[in-house]
Amino acid sequence: MIQHILLIEDEVNIAKFVELELQHENFQVTVSHDGREGADLALNHDYDLMLIDVMLPSLNGLEICRRVRKKKNTPIILITARDAIIDRVSGLEAGADDYVVKPFAIEELLARIRAIFRRVEPTLESKKSELTIKGLVVDQKAHQVFYSGKEVELTKTEYDMLVYLMENFNMVLSRDAILEKVWGYDVEVETNVVDVYIRHLRKKLPSEIAATIETVRGVGYVMR
């Protein structure tokens, strides 16, 4: 099945270049050069992945990301000209799964896209269809999380992180190990990306479950 990508980028030359490269890689691409138009497309149509520039006319990429996250778990890669830590964290806080900084090599962007698609594709490894810890149930076939019969809504990245922690219950996982497992490649960014998502996860989980995710100072995290 051909994967469909939404590209929201106001710089026409960049958008055309990325569109042609993605089409060359056999992706279907829909392009928008305006923030409000792009948000409308993102919210009212189904895509396999969204590439969203941060600085857009009429509505910025962070706000689009926030609006999408209220309705969908579609993977999002933000495109930004800002490389400061606060800008990266702001993007992740808004719900992005990853980001690339302009100017970027198209090979890097394609690698990040492939990494995300590897994560969302069903694994070939045999695994239990359900993971259960202290009343929290993860249905891996349905990709859903429940606690006391009520669904806990998580993004794809938060879900992957939770599953990794549960599969390694009582084992301390380093930030580097979590980055490699959840993001699917060597991420050349600060490991505080993991801390951001752990914080998201703790906020969304019931307090009884959030308390089981412990910080191991100087190392990483453990669920016990």
Is 171 in a helix, a strand, or coil?
A: coil
Q: What is the pLDDT along the chain (224 residues), one digit of tens a residue?
A: 689 999 999 999 999 999 999 999 999 999 999 999 999 999 999 999 999 999 999 999 999 999 999 888 899 999 988 777 777 788 888 889 888 988 889 999 999 999 888 877 654 444 457 888 888 999 988 889 999 889 999 988 899 999 999 988 888 999 888 888 887 755 555 668 899 999 999 999 999 999 999 999 888 999 98
Neighbours of 128 (CB within 10 A): 10
List b or e across 206-219, with b for residues whose CB sees 16 or more CB atoms inside 10 angstroms: eeebeebbeeeeee
For residue 155, count CB atoms less than 10 angstroms from its CB and return exposed for 0-12, middle for 13-18, buried for 19 or more: buried
**Would you state the structure tokens that stand for residue 159, as one six-digit string?**
């879900």
Global pTM value = 0.61
Give the integer Cα–Cα distance in Å for 132 and 196.
Answer: 24
Amino acid at 180: E
